[in-house]
Amino acid sequence: MTPDNPSRRSRRKEVLRELGLGPLWRARAPMGPSAAQDTIAPAFPADAIAGRVAAIRSMDWSELEASVAACTACGLCRSRTHTVFGVGDRRADWLCVGEGPGAEEDARGEPFVGPSGRLLDNMLAAVGLMRGRGVYIANIVKCRPPGNRNPAPDEMEQCAPYLARQIELIQPRLIVTLGRIAAQNLLHTDASIASLRGRLHRHAGIPVIVTYHPAYLLRTLADKAKVWEDLCFARSTMQDLMPAG
Ligand code: SF4
């Protein structure tokens, strides 16, 4: 990252205002602690797991959507209202990956709606993007974990083939992970966001940049400037990844 200076600080303030991250932002109610897990992954034999993964890897978009909508591969299917498949440009250069649906997303079947969705839209606008144009938004798990708890490892494992297939179909130039769960899951690490930020990682050969989840940012205003740094890094990385001319 480049050293800070007065003009950069001034530009940062300007963009933070554009992001709607001034002092008037009010934290929403904190996400609840991990609720009691009520999920028991079905005990699939190894052949069945391999067959399911292979079937998902051959799906086109409509087959993939139908498969997610009918999925009962993990216990999250029992408490969901809607599956939340993902939304946006299916030929996007940018892929944003969050953790999983919250209450509003579960009710509407779309990722990142409500306050954190509005903040994500502002974050995208800060790098010249609009939801649905040049960017696709998806989550690690497609069904809401009860009480907004973190998805369990077996739930993420069962859902992983869907995101993997979305990535194969989209072929984004750059993935931006939003929050700890998405970063740790895609990068196969237990490292903290703080230690992963500011560096270029790879997932399936695709460059990955790590930043905070908008819902976290709404609660932790002290970290808002770091998101601006991450967005600048993402924007300059994308410029480097674009073909010359
Ligand atoms: S979270 Fe994923 S694996 Fe679990 S039921 Fe929903 S779509 Fe299926």
Residues 118-150: tens digit of each pLDDT: 999 998 998 889 988 999 999 999 999 999 899
Identify residue 134 by its one-letter amino acid code: G
Tell the residue nearest (CA) to atom 6 of ligand 1.
Answer: 143
Residues 18-53: tens digit of each pLDDT: 454 443 333 333 333 333 333 344 556 788 888 999
- Predicted pLDDT at 5: 56
Q: Quickly tell me which residue has 């994500």 as its tokens.
A: 120
Q: Is the CB of 159 under 6 A from ligand 1?
A: yes
- Predicted pLDDT at 45: 75
Neighbours of 198 (CB within 10 A): 14
Residues 170-192: tens digit of each pLDDT: 999 999 999 999 999 999 999 99
CB–CB of 175/139 below 8 Å? no
Give 12's pLDDT tier (boundaries 50, 70, 90): low
Rounded CA gap, 166 and 179, in Å? 19
Q: Is the CB of 19 under 6 A from ligand 1?
A: no
Rounded CA gap, 71 and 219, in Å? 33
Among 130, 119, 116, 95, CA closest to 18: 119
CB–CB of 86/166 below 8 Å? yes
The more confidently predicted of residues 164 and 18 is 164
Q: Is the CB of 206 under 6 A from ligand 1?
A: no
Q: Is the CB of 141 under 6 A from ligand 1?
A: yes
What percentage of residues in the chain have a pLDDT greater than 90?
68
Give 162's pLDDT tier (boundaries 50, 70, 90): very high
Residue of 155, 165, 185 best suited for mutating to test ligand 1, as the one with most atoms within 8 Å of CB: 155
- Predicted pLDDT at 47: 84
Residues 63-98: tens digit of each pLDDT: 999 999 999 999 999 999 999 999 999 999 999 999
Contact partners, residue 45, CB within 8 Å, separation at least 6? none
Give 223's pLDDT tier (boundaries 50, 70, 90): confident
Range 92-116 average pLDDT: 95
CB–CB of 74/155 below 8 Å? yes
Q: Where are the alpha helices (DSSP H) in the chain?
A: 6-18, 46-57, 61-69, 103-108, 114-126, 153-170, 180-187, 193-196, 214-219, 224-241
The more confidently predicted of residues 155 and 33 is 155
Domain 42-241 has CATH 3.40.470.10: yes
Q: Is the CB of 155 under 6 A from ligand 1?
A: yes
Q: Is the CB of 73 under 6 A from ligand 1?
A: yes
